[in-house]
Structure 1
């Protein structure tokens, strides 16, 4: 089937810090896209390796440069990039990536085509390989599929796998979606902001990995995300101070139950292994980071920023919708097919008046939204 071109326009956004050689390669790959690219925002996180001077030489009118007066971290950089996209440009979609992301020439084309041809798509991302196009998957950029239901979109010529989150290594979403869910959480500083943000989107609409869209991640190592047990690089150790704190808030944004499971899991699984396994480097530092991070995370809850003001009514949440439906129909045996039908056809207010528990849940949900 021949793909039908649309008139959609896309802003790419790259956040960079002291990786000039990689930035040059990444920017060249983005500017070499075959379709849809309109602008490129480069957020320079106060690099001191000549990045600012190099960016000043770029004459391509599509490139907009923001030289931050301070290092905002990856999270702050992406927050700033999306804000600039919303406030200074009028393109339809924003496409985020790190400075060590090398996108294939048609990566953007497949993302936009999939978004345009399918309904209920909140974000799309690329398949991410490590080091080279034919390399292994980049393990830190493998998104979580929606359990069991991910195959529902594999019937098209341009297939996608449904996922519930994504890293900021070639992920795209719309201007309208930012108005719904707000900006990435800049207070994370580093690690986890991408998962929390795309979790937010996937609770409103579905996310997909578009299998024909490919990006190469030229990270230093092909490591697992947040693997403090096997971490041996002392230059990366400081990041785990943020990892565990941020992980707890990401879980809280899903549910209080999920937050308790994540916090307890870190203390019950990772902490004992750091303390008791043989040949663990930086053992006591790591143990302190896990404990401090988890307990800081329990109190860490910065507000979500909205460029055009927070919506007056809560945006439909898939998690809240399914919970309210269960309370409204406590005797119904739920199946995955039924869950998909509920997501496609129900709104939260459709479940009012069924049971007192459902009514109370809906009222509490809306009250909590207004108080945040």
Structure 2
């Protein structure tokens, strides 16, 4: 197990959680070559903390908040252009790794070297599967149980503990900055999955310290989050166009069903929610962002 790995964390004003994440990375049984922290223009307390590490970490501070998508774009670019490591390990600033998480991912990578991405088993603080990070098997009629032991091939995955090989990044390019938020990880892992299979590695667990264990739902989300769903439906319009006929039309039918679920519901702010959804879907028809490639070190 001689694989050199860079970890990439994207952060924005969550310093207490960030401290815990960095500490968990420093305690890995398989030491990391680089810990790259991309700071989406956080307040000065985050900047001061990260600068205190000196050369223990690679600190990439952005001048403006580019969202999670832009942060991961810059992080993967830095990995390609400033290191020679074999793999990049992506995560949010509320992803607390377990001491053996990387070891488990690399053990599977040794057994199955032809992979596009490897995804961890993401749990919430109570030990149950994080609803925001449910693994997506190739057969979507099948649900991967929480006591799953054997690895499973996936359609896509999230950026909450995701391992990608340098050779795959070289072929597929970087995450798309223009996504800003939502769906950048789905699009990127589906792009990687067209190069080589992606897998769920159940032994490689992490804890996703979200405030509550809930999935995303325009129907039920509060007023502060409703405008963000524009990005969800716009970005989905782009990446489902890249899918095969069956999966493309299945996703379109699901979106159609979501629209009518909201329209026929008694949800608060129904008109606002439907307007955001329609605006995103309309923008998605013509949304065609450019995929960037890094210049390797």
TM-score, normalised relative to structure 1: 0.74
1:269 Cα deviation from its structure 2 partner:
1.3
CA distance in 2, matches of 1:166, 1:49: 32
SS at match of 1:91: coil
Q: How far does the alpha carbon of each residue in 1:293-337 deviate from its partner, in whole angstroms, 9 at most, with x for none?
A: 11100100112111249xxxxxxxxxxxxxxxxxxxxxxxxxxxx
Question: Gaps spanning 5+ residues in structure 1: where?
Answer: 1-5, 151-157, 310-372
Question: Gaps spanning 5+ residues in structure 2: where?
Answer: 143-148
Task: Report runs of 4+ in structure 1 exceeding 6 Å deviation.
Answer: none
Of 104, 107, 113, the match for 1:110 = 104
CA distance in 1, matches of 2:27, 2:113: 28
SS at match of 2:116: strand
Q: How far does the alpha carbon of each residue in 1:153-208 deviate from its partner, in whole angstroms, 9 at most, with x for none?
A: xxxxx841111111000000111000111111111000100000000111111111
CA distance in 2, matches of 1:80, 1:293: 25
CA distance in 1, matches of 2:253, 2:202: 35
TM-score, normalised relative to structure 2: 0.92
Of 221, 229, 237, the match for 1:240 = 229
Greater RCO structure (CA 8 Å; 6+ sep): 2
CA contact (8 A) 1:38 1:62 kept: no
Q: How far does the alpha carbon of each residue in 1:65-116 deviate from its partner, in whole angstroms, 9 at most, with x for none?
A: 0110000100000000000000001111000000000000100011111112
Of 219, 222, 234, the match for 1:229 = 219
2:275 is the alignment partner of 1:288: yes
Paired positions, count: 291
1:241 Cα deviation from its structure 2 partner:
1.1
* Alignment correspondent of 2:28: 33
SS at match of 1:242: helix
* C-alpha RMSD of the superposition: 2.1
* Alignment correspondent of 2:11: 16
2:201 is the alignment partner of 1:210: yes
* Alignment correspondent of 2:239: 250
CA distance in 2, matches of 1:163, 1:262: 16
* Alignment correspondent of 1:87: 81
* Alignment correspondent of 1:137: 129
1:255 Cα deviation from its structure 2 partner:
3.9
